[in-house]
Chains A and B, each alone.
Chain A
């Protein structure tokens, strides 16, 4: 297979670049998040706010509505609609902040490739960063939204909603919110990272934000 890669006179063979272990990618990713801490916090805030909004709407939905049957149905519809809107806002917010944070690093991706990084390693870096940011901020976002609604109910002295269904609903939402937030974060971060990693380095280096 290598024979046709050489001039008739022969020459050196080009080996395959080694795959770095996952631990190395993990190390670099953690450092990268830490060092641009201020930037990471802003990106995380985008995820946090989106999920906190969604979480607060869903938590509010856990408390029973009062009123006649007709009013209850109307309130439930309103809540449903709010939840969809919240999800949409959260989707746009997260996508926006992740896209920004990846595209502003195209040049860095091009540089790493010049130094010998494999495409897969670049994607791995962004995968780890996005997963960490996604899981932590989504969980925090869920907690934030939940706390606000619960505290509001506590302060208004309305305690009859805190029943078994409320707590199982809470657990469910913890999982759903963290999953949705992390999923959207990854979906927003990975495609541009893959695109940048697969570009010829010259193109990635040329890109300015």
Chain B
């Protein structure tokens, strides 16, 4: 195995949530290897554990058992400062609710990760403007999130996720709050970035439009991987998946 063939690997991930006397096993032993440059969709019914997996891979929450390796580094071994470095430089996050900082303009939002990375502010602004142009929002750089449509906010969030040239972009239902057309545009944008910049994209989604662009689809159910499908096998089975998504 080449040392950096896999950008993300998880081994036996278990995550439990306890509320009162009830324990929910949101992840129940997830083993997943993701190659550099892949476009992966994580699909499954609501409550199956997609967001929980997203949080574990992104170092946003600690699993109870198992490990996540990012570029062969075991995340559990990192201290707070190393984790912050990883979140800043190696992973970009995209959320269903966009999570832009409301008081900052599009440009300031995209520049923020470069500030945390210690980039000189002129370089950071240049980088942010470049990325806003890439996502087609160069003209709206001085607008606040409240002055942008949902699709435009998600574009800003995508530009922000790319600010420090991450090797992984993690997305949790990036099209969940968008209409069909805008959602398709966002998916195409992600695919283009995946192709052109070689960034690995891991996206949790309900959105069957994602199927068309994904290299692999990881189906999860009740906190376990139910099956993994290669893109080649997919086209034949769309009908079956449509049924599956109705749960």
Closest residue of chain B to A200 (Cβ to Cβ) is B61
The answer on a CB contact under 8 Å between A112 and B112 is yes
CA distance A12 to B77 in the complex (A): 14
Answer yes or no: B113 CB below 8 A from chain A CBs: yes
Q: Residue-by-residue, is A103-131 near B (CB-CB < 8 Å gives 1, otherwise 0)? A: 00001101111111111010000000000
CA distance A20 to B117 in the complex (A): 9
Answer yes or no: B129 CB below 8 A from chain A CBs: no
The smallest beta-carbon distance between B179 and chain A, in angstroms, is 24
Residues of A within 8 A of B101 (CB): 108, 111-112
CA distance A85 to B123 in the complex (A): 54
Residues of B within 8 A of A116 (CB): 84-85, 87-89, 113, 116-117, 164
Residues of A within 8 A of B116 (CB): 17, 20, 112, 115-117, 121
The answer on a CB contact under 8 Å between A20 and B60 is no
Which of B67-75, B132-140, B220-228 contacts the other chain?
B67-75
CA distance A121 to B69 in the complex (A): 26
Answer yes or no: B32 CB below 8 A from chain A CBs: no
Closest residue of chain A to B85 (Cβ to Cβ) is A17
The smallest beta-carbon distance between A50 and chain B, in angstroms, is 26
The answer on a CB contact under 8 Å between A16 and B72 is no
Max count, chain B CB within 10 A of own CB: residue among A6, A31, A114: A114
Residues of A within 8 A of B62 (CB): 200
The smallest beta-carbon distance between A2 and chain B, in angstroms, is 9
CA distance A59 to B81 in the complex (A): 49
The answer on a CB contact under 8 Å between A15 and B85 is yes
B residues 64-122 near A (Cβ < 8 Å) are 69, 71-74, 77-82, 84-90, 93, 95, 99-104, 112-113, 115-118
Given B61, B74, B84, which contacts A202 in the complex, CB threshold below 8 Å?
B61
The answer on a CB contact under 8 Å between A9 and B72 is yes
Residues of A within 8 A of B23 (CB): none
Residues of A within 8 A of B112 (CB): 112, 115
The answer on a CB contact under 8 Å between B60 and A4 is no
A residues 8-41 near B (Cβ < 8 Å) are 9-18, 20, 24, 31-32, 35-36
Answer yes or no: B165 CB below 8 A from chain A CBs: no
What residues of chain B have their CB less than 8 Å away from a CB belonging to chain A?
1-4, 55, 58, 60-62, 69, 71-74, 77-82, 84-90, 93, 95, 99-104, 112-113, 115-118, 160, 164
Q: A12-B4, A112-B101 are in contact. List 16 more A-B contacts (CB 8 A).
A: A5-B74, A5-B77, A7-B72, A9-B1, A11-B3, A11-B73, A14-B78, A16-B81, A16-B82, A17-B81, A24-B115, A35-B104, A110-B99, A115-B88, A115-B112, A202-B60
